Amino acid sequence: MATWVFEVYYGTTGLPAWTDVGANNLAFCGPDGFDDTVAVAAWQDDTHVVSGTPGADVCTNPHAPNVKYVDATHFDSGGGSEVLNDANLVATECCRWHFSHGSAISMQDVEVFAYDGTTEINPMVGTEIQIFERGVGSTNWTELNDASDGVGGSGDAFALQDQAGAATSHYYYLAISVSFEEVGSHTGKIKIQGSYY
């Protein structure tokens, strides 16, 4: 059977581990942590796994990692600006999508896109999102959603690298950074899809 699982490296008992987010959500927060708002046009300073919108903080010890967009080729994971590349951004600072299958398969045409949570062709409202795929030699963020410019939805999907090697598990490591274009609470979804052979 084929399954996708969205995982974040955090802890609930003191030891971090790759943990299925399940029915929970990611909350992108301001500099004072959970429940702190992100200023308009700023990028998030904190990321949490939460039980609702915003709900209760689920990632208690340690919290989910946070990767913040600085500019097209830099990020900040809490220690100041760093050059964006596979050496500086470690896998456990990313979110990951885990695809598993009962047989050894290869992955192709995998892509992610952000949308308003209802209609897949519509961008996420009031939101700008930058995304980076780790482990493929990239050195630049890619704009996934920019509602004010009409970027987002399934028509602006971000293509992930094919994984031709046959295996029962495939992992995609992604850094996600969010900025809001207007005051208010903003929700939406990020979807991954692809094919295997």
pLDDT-derived band at 181, boundaries 50, 70, 90: very high
Measured CA to CA, the distance from residue 194 to residue 153 in angstroms comes to: 16
pLDDT at 7 over 90: yes
| pLDDT score for 55 | 83
Residue 83's identity, in one-letter code, is V
- Both structure tokens of 189: 């979804």
Q: Is 20 exposed, middle or buried (0-12, 13-18, 19+ CB in 10 A)?
A: exposed
Measured CA to CA, the distance from residue 15 to residue 167 in angstroms comes to: 28
Q: Average of pLDDT values for 124-147?
A: 97
Measured CA to CA, the distance from residue 97 to residue 8 in angstroms comes to: 9
Mean pLDDT (the chain) is 95
| pLDDT score for 52 | 82
DSSP class of residue 184 equals: S
Q: How much is the pTM?
A: 0.95
pLDDT-derived band at 169, boundaries 50, 70, 90: very high
- Both structure tokens of 15: 């030891």
pLDDT-derived band at 13, boundaries 50, 70, 90: confident
| pLDDT score for 15 | 86
Measured CA to CA, the distance from residue 150 to residue 189 in angstroms comes to: 16
